[in-house]
Amino acid sequence: MKFVISGYFGFQNTGDEAILAAMIDHLREVSRGSEIVVLSQNPVLTRKIHNVSSVSRTDVLGISRELADADLFISGGGSLLQDVTSPRSVPYYLGLVTLAKVMRKPVFFYAQGIGPLNLKFSKFLVKTIGNRVEAITVRDEPSLELLKSLGVTKPKMHVAADPVFGLKPRHGAGKGSDLLEACGIPTQGGPLVIVSVRPWRAVPGYIQAVAQACDDLVKTHGAVVVYVPFYKVQDAPICQACIELMQERAYILDGDASPGEILSIMDEADFAIGMRYHALVFAVATATPFAALSYDPKVDGLLSIVGERPGLSGDSRDVNSFSGHVKDAWRRRDEMKARFSALAPKLAEAARHVACLAVDTGKKESRP
């Protein structure tokens, strides 16, 4: 079989690259020997990292050539159909879906997170084009409910799990402690705390709150605090700002670690403070206790699945209470670890099952 995959790939965002890595692994497990072509901002980098064919995400002729003999067009995963980061996202991704449909190719939405959708045009496009695809899988219940509320009713729809729950850590010579030590970060002497932060204009003072919480963990527990920029171009300056506000020593992970390598680092962590959605997915997948900051409804959806609440969110902006939330999460870490350990295999299985649904959709629709 041949799959053409569209998503936010080639931008060196760890979360989205982790999604792609997991999707490729799962599709190859189900359909061995399949050809996979990825639409990417940086096709050369995508080919190098993921060992797949790749074309530019803006090369309409190139995309059309790849679609000509494809068995399935896959849209996702991730938060593609939302208009918060840009009003162009929905028209772009659904434009590609429309191209596939014009070429009479089946379309599968792969574990997407839908919304927020604020623009009438976005909602119209999602309803109109969403009702013309063959199958839709979403990664949480709120996404399914949003699609239904918009009037998307015709395709088969399933609630699954984010593909990254099924991603495996990179072990052996590249395991987490080796990666940290190669960057000059000590892995002995105290509990390892991984921190993920990103820009967030809605809650002034959140950087100071994170820095204070990290200082408390170092002073009280001798923690080794390591900031990990999941989307380096946006996150690295915020991570550095947090470090400069801290009174105690902290570190930042430099270099270009792969999603599997960062997952290996999280696998060895004792605790995490997570803001990026996939930093929290990594934590749950590795049964790492955490305290969360929710900047987006998708984070709230994930926290609901795993039975946690955020220390800071768009609704709860009391930055002075965040240190107390982190202390409470630290006290509950054994209970949290046990809960995540029981939940992670189920989420991983749900993530892998999406590939089965995708392959079945491609096979069914390609039959004469």
Residues above pLDDT 70, as percent of the chain:
98
Position 255 scores a pLDDT of 78
Position 169 scores a pLDDT of 77
Mean pLDDT of 65-93: 96
pLDDT of 171 strictly over 70: no
- Which of the four pLDDT bands, split at 50, 70 and 90, describes residue 366? low
Tens-digit pLDDT profile for residues 206-252: 999 999 999 999 999 999 999 999 999 999 999 999 999 999 999 99
Tens-digit pLDDT profile for residues 120-158: 999 999 999 999 999 999 999 999 999 999 999 999 999
Mean pLDDT of 90-101: 98
Decide if 194 contacts 179 (C-beta within 8 A): no
d(CA 107, CA 100): 7
Position 174 scores a pLDDT of 47
Nearby residues of 230 by Cβ (< 8 Å), 6 or more positions away: 13, 14, 15, 196, 198, 262, 276, 278, 279
Tens-digit pLDDT profile for residues 174-209: 488 888 988 889 888 899 999 999 999 999 999 999
Is the pTM higher than 0.75? The answer reads yes
Mean pLDDT of 160-170: 90
Q: Which of 9-18, 26-35, 249-258, 349-358 has the lowest mean pLDDT?
A: 249-258
Burial of residue 340, with CB atoms counted within 10 A of its CB: 0-12 exposed, 13-18 middle, 19 or more buried: buried
Where on the phi/psi map is residue 111: left (φ > 0), alpha (ψ -120 to 50), or beta?
left
C-alpha dihedral sign at 209, 256, 263, 294? positive
pLDDT of 368 strictly over 70: no
Tens-digit pLDDT profile for residues 313-347: 988 889 999 999 999 999 999 999 999 999 999 99
Quote the tokens at residue 141: 């219940």
Position 173 scores a pLDDT of 44
Position 142 scores a pLDDT of 93
Alpha-carbon torsion, ordered 344, 272, 20, 112, to 10 deg: 70
Q: Find the DSSP H helices in 51-88.
A: 60-68
Q: Please report, for the chain, the start and end positions of each structural domain, with discontinuous segments joined by +.
A: 2-160, 172-344
From 17, 90, 101, 43, select the one nearest 67 (Cα to Cα). Answer: 101
In angstroms, how far is CA 246 from the centroid of its own chain?
Answer: 28
Decide if 337 contacts 271 (C-beta within 8 A): no
CATH superfamily of 172-344: Glycogen Phosphorylase B; (3.40.50.2000)
Which phi and psi angles does 276 have, rounded to 5°?
Answer: -65, 140
Position 364 scores a pLDDT of 85
pLDDT of 365 strictly over 80: no
CB atoms under 10 Å from CB of 233, counted, come to 10
d(CA 75, CA 87): 18
Decide if 326 contacts 216 (C-beta within 8 A): yes
Tens-digit pLDDT profile for residues 269-278: 999 999 999 9
2-160 in CATH: which number?
3.40.50.2000
Mean pLDDT of 104-111: 97
